[in-house]
């Protein structure tokens, strides 16, 4: 009897399962809902794959449905790629979707600009995803802006071995720029006709100069950058109307402020350079200047979102005016191993999201003559960060061999007991080192209200009443226009900008 009972129960279970309606699917008859009616895949460079974008498809009915067809409008010829229900392709049949459930579709593209030549350097590529057939068909549009570009990268020899360049006793993935490269182009002159996308480290050879024109757009790939060799030079000469922009090669808005997308602009021992009206975004180190032969000059330069330092000088010579250096993992500006530095009307503002960062850091290594801090002058500047101390000075030399001075500058220094009670090198009442400074030792003292630090809008606003007009007029005459072109020859503010109006609520 027990055997018969078991067989009966098994038969009953099969019958019950076969009668379930959960997995009966009816043909789709329109009525799908979508998270977007158009998917905009952000700008891509020719032949560089996009990020992956998501479309969510909803079945809001009480019935399980089977979508007869999910396909790209151009079918297999489309430059878009789909992933539907875990399957990659461009055309899919009989896609099942349970009642009150949803389906993810992942979308990517890679487009060759040369297949769509026009008189511009960019074009819109479009397609669509069709759902169903006939009168029940629905669609979602796909749109991508494609940019043409100059691509610079290491070449490969007949054996397929990639080009390298010697650096610090090793070979790194990179190539030399020249007046005539393998395509007979002058890669030592970067123009504004279309963007440059660079893979590996582009090196400026000795005795050569890299010229970068106003309006040029430079995009470095991951682990890429620029090396300037001994006796070589870089001249990045933008204008206020046509600044030069140097950043990573990910153009999606989500990457607009992601630090560390590429390496550095590295001026090696014996090199030099001039940077005017130049914006540098999202590097590991923005400018790394290493024991240069001539003074590197910076004017109207902005550097943002460096994972290490915005500017790192090593026994270097740097002069800067209207320089703005924003968030950095270590310091906005670091003058290490001594050197000679002078900045006027510059803003070093660091709101890095993790601790142990600062605005300005100076050191003379072991205090020996080779690494002497010969000069570090900051006039009409702002040194401010979200950390308690926006100025760090580490010195091993005797005070008489350490030469620095801060004049008419705002310095945040929340030391225990008040920063003005500290000894050398932080004896803020000593005019040999600190002259007419605005020392912020608590939150509401000389507080700068920046327009929007999260978006690197580091202008002080009219709420900054304690610091407005506190710049030295004689110093301001040296740089009569601020970074936005405003006249500062009367009541100059500290930092790179004259104050602006606070945003309205």
pLDDT in tens, 332-381: 999 999 999 999 999 999 999 888 999 999 999 999 999 999 999 999 99
Q: Return d(Cα 197, Cα 219) in angstroms, integer.
A: 5
- The answer to whether residue 4 scores a pLDDT higher than 90 is no
Q: What mean pLDDT do residues 439-454 have?
A: 94
Query: What is the DSSP track for 73-106?
Result: TTGGG-SEEEEETTEEESEEEEEEE-TTEEEEEE
pTM of the model: 0.86
Beta carbons of 175 and 155 less than 8 angstroms apart: yes
The b/e string for 164-179 (b: 16+ C-beta within 10 A; e otherwise) is ebeeeeeebebbbbee
| Helix (H) or strand (E) run with residue 9 in it | helix 2-18
What is the torsion angle, in degrees rounded to the nearest 10, for the CA atoms of residue 340, residue 344, residue 349 and residue 350?
A: 0
pLDDT value, residue 395:
95
CB-CB neighbours of 193 under 10 Å: 11
pLDDT grade for 266, boundaries at 50, 70 and 90: very high
- The answer to whether residue 419 scores a pLDDT higher than 60 is no
Q: What mean pLDDT do residues 292-316 have?
A: 97
- The number of C-alpha atoms within 13 Å of 391 and in the hemisphere containing its C-beta is 32
- The answer to whether residue 1 scores a pLDDT higher than 50 is no
Choose between 124 and 351: higher pLDDT: 351
pLDDT value, residue 105:
96
Q: What mean pLDDT do residues 224-235 have?
A: 97
Q: What mean pLDDT do residues 482-499 have?
A: 97
- The answer to whether residue 16 scores a pLDDT higher than 50 is no
| Out of 140-149, 415-424, 440-449, least confident range | 415-424
- The answer to whether residue 9 scores a pLDDT higher than 90 is no
pLDDT value, residue 5:
47
- The answer to whether residue 2 scores a pLDDT higher than 50 is no
26-147 fold: Immunoglobulin-like (2.60.40)
pLDDT value, residue 182:
74
Choose between 22 and 273: higher pLDDT: 273
pLDDT grade for 119, boundaries at 50, 70 and 90: low
- The answer to whether residue 92 scores a pLDDT higher than 50 is yes
Q: Return d(Cα 346, Cα 344) in angstroms, integer.
A: 5
Q: Please give the share of the chain, as a percent, with pLDDT higher than 90.
A: 75
Q: Return d(Cα 33, Cα 54) in angstroms, integer.
A: 14
DSSP-based three-state secondary structure for 15: helix
Q: What mean pLDDT do residues 106-131 have?
A: 86
pLDDT value, residue 421:
54
* Mean of all residue pLDDT scores within the chain: 91
Choose between 183 and 443: higher pLDDT: 443
What residue segments make up the domains of the chain, in order of their start? 26-147, 189-476
pLDDT grade for 483, boundaries at 50, 70 and 90: very high
CATH class (in words) of the domain with range 189-476? mainly beta
pLDDT value, residue 60:
92
Query: What is the DSSP track for 435-486?
Result: ES-EEE-STTSS---EEEGGGTEEEEBTT-TTTTT-S-HHHHTTS-B-TTS-
Q: What mean pLDDT do residues 279-305 have?
A: 97
């Amino acid at each position: 009897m027990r055997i018969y009972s078991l067989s009966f129960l098994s038969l009953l279970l099969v019958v019950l399962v076969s009668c379930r309606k959960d997995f009966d699917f009816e043909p789709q008859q329109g009525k799908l809902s979508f998270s977007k009616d158009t998917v905009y895949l952000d700008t891509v460079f020719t032949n560089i794959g996009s990020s992956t974008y998501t479309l969510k498809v909803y079945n809001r009915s009480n019935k399980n449905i089977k979508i007869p067809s999910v396909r790209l409008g151009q079918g297999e010829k489309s430059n878009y790629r789909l992933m539907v229900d875990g399957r990659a392709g461009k055309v899919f049949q009989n896609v099942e979707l349970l009642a009150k459930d949803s389906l993810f579709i992942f979308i990517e593209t890679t487009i060759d600009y040369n297949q769509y030549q026009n008189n511009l350097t960019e074009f819109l590529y479009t397609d669509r995803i069709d759902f169903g057939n006939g009168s029940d068909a629905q669609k979602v549009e796909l749109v991508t802006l494609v940019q043409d570009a100059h691509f610079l990268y290491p070449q490969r020899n007949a054996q397929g071995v990639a080009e390298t360049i010697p650096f610090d006793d090793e070979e790194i993935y990179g190539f030399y720029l020249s007046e005539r490269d393998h395509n007979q182009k002058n890669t030592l002159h970067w123009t504004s006709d279309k963007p440059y996308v660079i893979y590996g480290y582009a090196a400026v050879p000795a005795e050569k100069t890299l010229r970068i024109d106003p309006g040029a757009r430079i995009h470095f790939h991951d682990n890429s950058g620029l090396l300037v060799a001994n006796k070589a030079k870089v001249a990045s000469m933008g204008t206020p109307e046509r600044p030069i922009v140097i950043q990573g090669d990910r153009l999606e808005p989500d990457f607009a402020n992601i630090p560390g997308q590429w390496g550095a602009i590295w001026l090696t021992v014996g090199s030099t350079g001039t940077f005017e009206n130049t914006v540098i975004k999202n590097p590991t180190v923005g400018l790394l200047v290493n024991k240069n032969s001539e003074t590197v000059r910076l004017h109207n330069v902005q550097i943002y979102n460096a994972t290490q330092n915005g500017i790192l000088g090593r026994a270097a010579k740097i002069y800067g005016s209207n320089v703005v250096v924003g968030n950095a993992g270590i310091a906005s500006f670091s003058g290490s191993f001594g050197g000679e530095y002078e900045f006027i009307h510059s803003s070093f503002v660091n709101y890095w999201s993790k601790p142990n960062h600062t605005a300005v850091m100076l050191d003379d290594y072991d205090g020996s003559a080779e690494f002497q801090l010969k000069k570090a002058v900051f006039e009409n500047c702002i040194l401010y960060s979200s950390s308690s101390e926006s100025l760090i000075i580490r010195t091993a030399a005797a005070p008489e061999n350490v030469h620095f001075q801060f004049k008419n500058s705002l310095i945040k220094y929340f030391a225990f007991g008040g920063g003005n009670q500290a000894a050398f090198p932080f004896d803020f009442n000593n005019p040999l080192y600190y002259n007419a400074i605005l020392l912020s030792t608590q939150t509401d003292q000389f507080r700068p209200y920046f327009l929007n630090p999260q978006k690197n809008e580091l202008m002080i606003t009219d709420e900054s009443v304690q610091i407005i007009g506190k710049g030295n007029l004689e110093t301001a005459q040296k740089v009569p226009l601020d970074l936005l072109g405003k006249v500062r020859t009367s009541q100059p503010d500290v930092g790179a900008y004259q104050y602006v109006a606070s945003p309205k609520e």
